[in-house]
Amino acid sequence: MSERPGSTVNVRTTVVRDGVANDKTDRVATEEPLEIRIARGPDEALPLAVTMRTPGHDFELAVGLLVSEGVLRSADDVLEVRYCIEGEQLYNVVTVHVRSSVELDRHHLARNLTMTSACGICGKASLDAIEATNAPKIDGGPSVGSDVIAALPDRLREAQRIFDRTGGLHAAGVADATGELLHVREDVGRHNAVDKIVGALYMEHALPASERVLVVSGRASFEIMQKAASAGIPIVVAVGAPSSLAVDVAKSFNMTLAGFVREGGFNIYAGKERIA
């Protein structure tokens, strides 16, 4: 079954301008729950997480989350991804069917996968949580010009189709060393947008993405850096500020992190050798 559309909905709103009120129809970003399950071989599907997300690219979201958690390590681990049709749960439950050889640490997954659209994976409190996924330190990576880095947020903003209609979504994009955006994903959750990017790369057999740059429309948080590290992405560019843990992740995994990126300049918090 193909993925469902439905990224925006119409709502009635009252617009007040200069003290004058007028009723009109507005478009807002859709926010709905998605339950992610995993089935290994003939095993019954195991519920992993429920996240609030913007519908669209749900399969990428589910797969990207499993890559970030270190469950999927090989390009052929996934056999099938499909929606589970259960009464009123149409299009809001996705099961990732994986090979029976895929190892599942149920205790680790149950502890870490407590999610909302706002906070990402809230159970993680230290770098130990990333090390448990066995993500390697990132060697090499492209050399990217400072002008390319500075231009990425504007390029991402120009590609935000749903944001133009609603004004209410985060975005993530993956680019090559010249600044060409290869994928752009939007979601009410910034971490969901990154998972969709990681899932898209996994499904293209393009991981580790050692020659790519991740750009995000907001701040650089711990979970965003974790997801980039799990995907082998060496450079992360953020429009906003990084957190202290985001900087720690970048340094620990030999990544490049740039924040407050806009036309005219940016701050480099780690890995300046990759920026020409």
What is the per-residue pLDDT for 7?
74
Q: Where are the alpha helices (DSSP H) in the chain?
A: 58-68, 106-112, 128-131, 146-158, 161-166, 190-203, 222-230, 244-252
What is the per-residue pLDDT for 1?
43
What is the per-residue pLDDT for 84?
82
Burial 71-92 (b: 16+ CB within 10 A, else e): bbeeeebbeebebbeeeeeebb
- The DSSP call for residue 53 is E
- CATH class of the structural domain 32-123: alpha beta
Pinpoint the residues of the chain covered by CATH 3.10.20.10. 32-123
What is the per-residue pLDDT for 63?
97
Distance, CA of 147 to CA of 80 (rounded, Å): 41
pTM of the shown model: 0.87
Which residues of the chain have a pLDDT value below 50? 1-2, 115-119, 121-123, 125
Burial 205-219 (b: 16+ CB within 10 A, else e): ebbbbeebbbbbbeb
Domain 146-274, what fold? Cytidine Deaminase; domain 2 (3.40.140)
Pinpoint the residues of the chain covered by CATH 3.40.140.10. 146-274
Residue with tokens 């680790």: 108
Q: How many CB atoms lie within 10 A of CB 155?
A: 16
% helix, strand, coil for the chain, step of 5: 30, 35, 40
Burial of 67 (C-beta count, 10 Å sphere; 0-12/13-18/19+): buried
User: Which amino acids are annotated catalytic?
Assistant: 119
- Show the tokens assigned to 118: 């706002």
